[in-house]
């Protein structure tokens, strides 16, 4: 019994690109929301404004770090998949070359 892992490389690349785009979109929306909230905070008293702004900036930084980590992971998945695909193609070429040579020399395949 043969155990195989079949990978649809185009689907992996497409999904990685989709997820990267979604992360970027979410970050843009978060930053826009942050700017809007910061503008609203200008109408509050100084101590409330400072506390809220500090909390928002902290959360924004944490979100950015998380998004950057996810993007790095997606890049790793993309690069690993490309490396596996190239290796698989190399193995296929080697087998095809061996099969072709065996056919020309009258060997069995």
Interatomic CA distance for residues 33 and 1, integer angstroms:
55
**Alpha-carbon gap, residue 74 to 15, rounded angstroms:** 9
pLDDT one digit per residue (tens) for the chain, 109 residues: 567 778 899 999 999 999 999 999 999 999 999 889 888 887 777 888 888 889 989 999 999 999 999 999 999 999 999 999 999 999 989 988 888 887 777 655 4
pTM above 0.85, yes or no: no
């Amino acid at each position: 019994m043969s155990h195989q892992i079949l990978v649809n490389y185009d689907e992996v690349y497409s999904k990685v690109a989709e997820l990267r785009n979604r992360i970027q979109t979410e970050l843009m929306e978060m930053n826009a929301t942050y700017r809007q909230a910061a503008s609203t905070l200008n109408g509050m008293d100084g101590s409330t404004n400072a506390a809220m702004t500090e909390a928002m900036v902290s959360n924004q930084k944490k979100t950015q770090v998380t998004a950057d980590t996810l993007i790095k992971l997606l890049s790793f998945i993309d690069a690993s998949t490309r490396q596996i695909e190239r290796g698989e193609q190399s193995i296929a070429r080697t087998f095809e070359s061996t099969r072709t040579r065996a056919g020309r020399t009258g060997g069995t395949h």
